[in-house]
């Protein structure tokens, strides 16, 4: 009795006076044994009613081993109290009938219960204020489903009460639109197999509200004994963000369409201006040169006049060259001969003007392309060469044009200093953006990467349209 860590009390069944108290009880109460032996259990538990205690003890009967229990609070010597559970049973000691009370201090149990209640309250507050449905979902080994836990957001999100979904777990699957159902099941199976996060977005139809909404599901799997899997996760309504994404996508598509239209109009206007400059200004300058030659032949033998005529003739020649150069910049006439010829001409011009070796390779002499496609690819090529001349510090450029089935690939590779990710994000890097937009308008892609051995590689890949039958016959003719 004295060695036990549990509180133990012995008191007389008739007078209720304490006969003995073990050390554990004395320590907890703060009383000496002498003081305790003058007390009764009612002194230790003031809120305990005497009649109630007597009735409880009386219910034990006279059989040794019978026991009854109650919960109360003991008061220590310093006035503080603590919860205790007392178990009473009859014993005989030295021929005397006594009551043995075994007490368990419930302070830790009560504190743990209060802490659990506080934790549960905080958890409920967080979950109930979470914009969505917090849930647990179990897929058993036999394929049956269960929702052990569903937050109150179930009704607002799914139009179902917690009990309705728990009683019929497959009802959520029926809410998912048929075209999105397979993606949901595939994502669940992949998460189950790899025990990886389950991420899925899809549409559900809430018939009660005649409403279709987008749902985002994020859950973490936990394997269960027996082969099942439990997911703890959250479902949220992402309809608004999905609609915004769709509107953004449509806006970008309209912007890309407008950009493509502007580029086409721009090329058409360039071609018109180039034609007018070449035909009108070129023709006029040629007529001026011929007239000037006739006038110079009839000038008197005056050195000053002869020098003036020679100066004007040289000025007209330079002007004709400028008109020719401007016309070519606006619309290279070689584009009328096809993309391959135009790219080859531009490569030679770049090499001649910049002093940078430029090698052009193409297995095809002619590639049948829409004029707008050819012009866009040519402009991308021009912009790439301009960037190389300005920024790369290269000494050699290699250009390749390849047709592979229904795709056309233009590769431009230099041996310069290369391009860094920061260069691509510069606010004023309109050249790269323009090249990318042109490629996207063609339904293709533009990629930038490091070239073998250093430098930069630009690769443009577009899809070729299938040739029409009439067009092929015309070409053969």
pLDDT digits (tens, 9 = 90+) for 354-371: 899 999 998 888 888 878
Regarding whether 385 and 367 lie in a shared domain, the answer is yes
Query: Is 402 a domain residue?
Result: yes
Token pair for 143: 């394929």
Regarding whether 282 and 225 lie in a shared domain, the answer is no
Looking at residue 477, its pLDDT comes to 30
Query: Is 263 a domain residue?
Result: yes
Looking at residue 476, its pLDDT comes to 36
Looking at residue 116, its pLDDT comes to 86
- Which residues partner with 146 through β-bridges? 138
Asked whether the predicted pLDDT for residue 82 surpasses 90, the reply is: yes
Q: Express each pLDDT in 308-357 by its tens digit.
A: 888 888 888 888 888 877 877 777 777 778 888 889 988 998 999 889 99
Domain boundary among 111, 145, 163: 111
- Rg, Å, the chain Cα set: 47
Query: Is 119 a domain residue?
Result: no
Regarding whether 272 and 228 lie in a shared domain, the answer is no
Mean pLDDT computed over 156-160: 90
Query: Is 184 a domain residue?
Result: yes
pTM of the complete model: 0.49
pLDDT-based confidence at residue 471 (cuts at 50, 70, 90) = very low
Q: Express each pLDDT in 11-56 by its tens digit.
A: 988 889 999 999 999 999 999 999 999 899 999 999 998 898 888 8
Task: Provide the 10 A C-beta neighbour count for residue 163.
Answer: 10
Q: Express each pLDDT in 161-200 by its tens digit.
A: 999 999 999 999 999 999 999 999 999 999 999 999 999 9
User: If you search the block for the tokens 């449905």, which residue do you land on?
Assistant: 133
How do beta strands 407-414 and 445-450 pair? unpaired
Looking at residue 439, its pLDDT comes to 83
Mean pLDDT computed over 365-387: 85
* DSSP three-state, residue 403: strand
CATH number, position 178: 3.30.450.20
Query: Is 106 a domain residue?
Result: yes
Query: Is 120 a domain residue?
Result: no
Query: Is 372 a domain residue?
Result: yes
Asked whether the predicted pLDDT for residue 467 surpasses 70, the reply is: no
* DSSP three-state, residue 444: coil
Domain boundary among 237, 253, 274: 237
Check residues 427 and 127 and name the one with the higher pLDDT.
127
Looking at residue 39, its pLDDT comes to 93
Regarding whether 100 and 29 lie in a shared domain, the answer is yes
Token pair for 443: 């339904």
Asked whether the predicted pLDDT for residue 235 surpasses 90, the reply is: yes
| Cα distance between residue 59 and residue 68, in whole Å | 8
Mean pLDDT computed over 120-135: 80
Regarding whether 347 and 453 lie in a shared domain, the answer is yes
User: If you search the block for the tokens 């260069």, which residue do you land on?
Assistant: 423
Looking at residue 293, its pLDDT comes to 83
Across the chain, mean pLDDT equals 85
Phi, psi dihedral angles at 166 (to 5 degrees): -70, -35
Q: Express each pLDDT in 207-220 by its tens digit.
A: 777 889 999 999 99
Looking at residue 383, its pLDDT comes to 87
Looking at residue 219, its pLDDT comes to 95
Number of domains in the chain: 4
Regarding whether 185 and 171 lie in a shared domain, the answer is yes
Asked whether the predicted pLDDT for residue 123 surpasses 60, the reply is: yes
For a pLDDT cut of 70, what percent of the chain falls above it? 94
Mean pLDDT computed over 260-266: 77
Looking at residue 65, its pLDDT comes to 66
The DSSP code sequence of 23-90 is HHHHHHHT--HHHHTT--HHHH-TTS-HHHHHHHHHTT-S-TT-EEEEEEEEE-TTS-EEEEEEEEEE
Asked whether the predicted pLDDT for residue 436 surpasses 70, the reply is: yes
The CA–CA distances, whole Å, from 168 to 162, 164, 228, 427 equal 10, 6, 18, 56
Regarding whether 320 and 389 lie in a shared domain, the answer is no
Query: Is 116 a domain residue?
Result: no
Regarding whether 461 and 368 lie in a shared domain, the answer is yes
Regarding whether 454 and 346 lie in a shared domain, the answer is yes
Range of the domain at 354: 335-476
pLDDT-based confidence at residue 434 (cuts at 50, 70, 90) = confident
Regarding whether 469 and 339 lie in a shared domain, the answer is yes
| Cα distance between residue 433 and residue 19, in whole Å | 96
Mean pLDDT computed over 52-80: 85
- Contact between residue 458 and residue 384 where contact means Cβ atoms under 8 Å apart: yes
When mean pLDDT is compared across 58-72, 364-378, 422-436, the lowest value belongs to: 422-436
CATH number, position 455: 3.30.565.10
Regarding whether 207 and 76 lie in a shared domain, the answer is no
Looking at residue 398, its pLDDT comes to 92
Domain boundary among 174, 208, 237: 237
Regarding whether 437 and 340 lie in a shared domain, the answer is yes
């Amino acid at each position: 009795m004295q060695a036990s860590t549990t509180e133990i009390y012995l008191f007389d069944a008739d007078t209720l006076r304490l006969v003995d108290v073990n050390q554990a009880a004395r320590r907890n109460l703060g009383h000496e044994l002498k003081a305790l032996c003058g007390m009764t259990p009612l002194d230790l538990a003031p809120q305990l009613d005497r009649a109630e205690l007597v009735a409880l003890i009386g219910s034990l009967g006279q059989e040794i081993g019978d026991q009854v229990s109650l919960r109360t609070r003991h008061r220590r010597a310093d006035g503080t109290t603590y919860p205790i559970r007392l178990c009473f049973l009859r014993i005989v000691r030295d021929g005397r009938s006594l009551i043995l009370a075994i007490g368990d201090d419930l302070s830790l149990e009560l504190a743990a219960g209060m802490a659990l209640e506080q934790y549960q309250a905080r958890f409920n507050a967080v979950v109930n204020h979470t914009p969505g449905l917090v849930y647990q979902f179990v897929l058993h080994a036999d394929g049956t489903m269960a929702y052990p836990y569903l937050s109150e957001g179930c009704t607002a999100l799914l139009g179902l009460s917690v009990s309705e979904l728990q009683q019929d777990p497959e009802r959520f699957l029926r809410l998912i639109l048929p075209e999105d159902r397979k993606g949901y099941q595939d994502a669940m199976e992949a998460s189950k197999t790899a025990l990886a996060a389950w991420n899925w977005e899809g549409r559900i139809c809430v018939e009660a509200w005649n409403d279709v909404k987008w749902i985002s599901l994020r859950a973490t799997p936990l394997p269960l004994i027996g082969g099942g899997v439990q997911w703890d996760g959250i479902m949220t309504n992402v309809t608004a963000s999905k609609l915004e994404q769709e509107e953004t996508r449509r806006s970008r598509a309209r912007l890309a369409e407008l950009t493509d239209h502007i580029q086409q109009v721009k090329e058409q206007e360039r071609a018109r201006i180039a034609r007018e400059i070449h035909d009108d200004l070129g023709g006029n300058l040629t007529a001026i040169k011929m007239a000037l030659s006739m006038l110079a032949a009839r000038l008197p033998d005056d050195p000053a006049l002869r020098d003036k005529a020679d100066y004007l003739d040289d000025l007209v020649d330079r002007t004709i060259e400028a008109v020719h150069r401007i016309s070519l910049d606006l619309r290279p006439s070689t584009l009328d001969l096809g993309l391959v010829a135009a790219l080859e001409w531009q490569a030679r011009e770049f090499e001649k003007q910049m002093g940078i070796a430029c090698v052009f390779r193409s297995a095809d002499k002619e590639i049948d392309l829409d004029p707008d496609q050819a012009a866009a690819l040519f402009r991308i090529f021009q912009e790439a060469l301009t960037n190389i001349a300005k920024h790369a510090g290269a000494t050699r450029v290699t250009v390749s044009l390849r047709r592979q089935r229904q795709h056309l690939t233009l590769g431009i590779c230099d041996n310069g200093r290369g391009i860094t990710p920061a260069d691509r994000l510069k606010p004023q890097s309109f050249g790269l953006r323009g090249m990318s937009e042109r490629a996207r308008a063609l339904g293709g892609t533009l990629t930038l990467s490091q070239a073998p051995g250093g430098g930069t590689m630009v690769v443009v890949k577009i899809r070729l349209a299938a040739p029409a039958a009439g067009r092929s016959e015309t070409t053969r003719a």
